[in-house]
């Protein structure tokens, strides 16, 4: 990614995307106080972020993953397709290697967990703005432990669309919601779910959800 800023003295334009207003306000205050950074907008959903980016510009999008609507993963995919130059930095409670891998595959350039210090987040914004990848240090154990976690290995078998449907299903959304959110037919979603269950060797949606919880993709 090449930075679109006109020079080193130009402020990094940051777009915040998170569905918690208090967190957005805190991040806006934090990043706006940093030299050479400017928060250009803060939004509550991936849908709003994609719409905003079609008529405005940002250098870095700080993106949550767990939001209503189609969520952060789908937002990353759509943003990266629309504007490959935009720098996407995930900022999420999820500290699993599988979420990191999926986000980077879909187009994110960096990943910081919400357990990280504010200094780590600021460093991530600066690195992504410069076109460099960045991962918060607390993700290193998750990356190392991947091979010893059976759920992680099984989840790696899923394609990107299957993974998105798994996330929505594990969050309790029915087939019709998944279909509307991802612009798919209900039949297509059901076919995906059948393949997902076969790949993960689970018999029903309840088992699928329990597997997702054990893997850290959903809360109990």
**Segment 1-57, tens digit of pLDDT:** 344 554 445 899 999 999 999 999 999 999 999 999 999 999 999 999 999 999 999
**Residue 5 near residue 59 (C-beta atoms within 8 A):** yes
CB-CB neighbours of 48 under 10 Å: 18
Decide which of 143, 170, 202 is a domain's last residue: 143
Could you state, in chain order, the average pLDDT of each consecutive group of 10 residues for the chain (220 residues)? 51 97 96 96 96 96 92 93 94 89 91 96 96 90 59 76 88 89 91 91 88 76
pTM of the model: 0.75
Q: Kindly state whether residues 182 and 209 are assigned to the same domain.
A: yes
Q: Kindly state whether residues 122 and 192 are assigned to the same domain.
A: no
Q: Kindly state whether residues 127 and 193 are assigned to the same domain.
A: no
Decide which of 143, 166, 189 is a domain's last residue: 143
- DSSP lists the bridge partners of residue 88 as 61
Secondary structure letter of residue 116 according to DSSP: S
Q: Give the Cα separation of 109 and 102 in Å (integer).
A: 11
Q: Kindly state whether residues 125 and 34 are assigned to the same domain.
A: yes
Q: Give the Cα separation of 105 and 23 in Å (integer).
A: 26
Q: What is the CATH number of the domain that holds 119?
A: 3.40.50.2300
For the chain, how many helices (H) and strands (E)?
A: 11, 6
Secondary structure letter of residue 62 according to DSSP: E
Q: Which of 113, 161, 103, 120 is nearest to 141 (CA)?
A: 113
Decide which of 143, 171, 205 is a domain's last residue: 143
User: Does a structural domain hold residue 6?
Assistant: no
Number of separate domains in the chain: 2
- State both tokens at 127: 């690195």
Residue-number span of the structural domain to which 96 is assigned: 12-143
């Amino acid at each position: 990614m090449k930075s679109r800023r006109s020079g080193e003295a130009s402020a990094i334009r940051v777009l915040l995307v998170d569905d918690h207003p208090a967190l957005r306000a805190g991040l806006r205050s934090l990043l706006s106080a940093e030299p050479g950074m400017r928060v250009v907008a803060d939004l509550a959903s991936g849908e709003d972020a994609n719409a905003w980016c079609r008529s405005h510009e940002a250098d870095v999008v700080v993106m949550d993953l767990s939001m209503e609507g189609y969520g952060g993963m789908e937002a990353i995919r759509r943003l990266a397709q629309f504007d490959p130059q935009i720098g996407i930095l995930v900022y999420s409670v999820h500290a699993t290697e599988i979420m990191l891998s999926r986000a980077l595959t879909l187009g994110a350039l960096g990943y910081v967990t919400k357990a990280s210090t504010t200094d780590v987040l600021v460093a991530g914004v600066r690195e992504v703005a410069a076109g460099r990848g960045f991962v918060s240090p607390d993700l290193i154990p998750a990356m190392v432990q991947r091979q010893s976690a059976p759920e992680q290995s099984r989840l790696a078998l899923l394609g990107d669309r299957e993974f998105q449907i798994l996330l929505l299903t594990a969050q309790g959304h029915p087939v019709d919601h998944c279909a509307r959110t991802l612009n798919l037919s209900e039949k297509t979603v059901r076919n995906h779910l059948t393949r997902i269950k076969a790949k993960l060797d689970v018999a029903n949606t309840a088992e699928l959800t329990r597997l997702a919880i054990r893997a850290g993709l959903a809360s109990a």
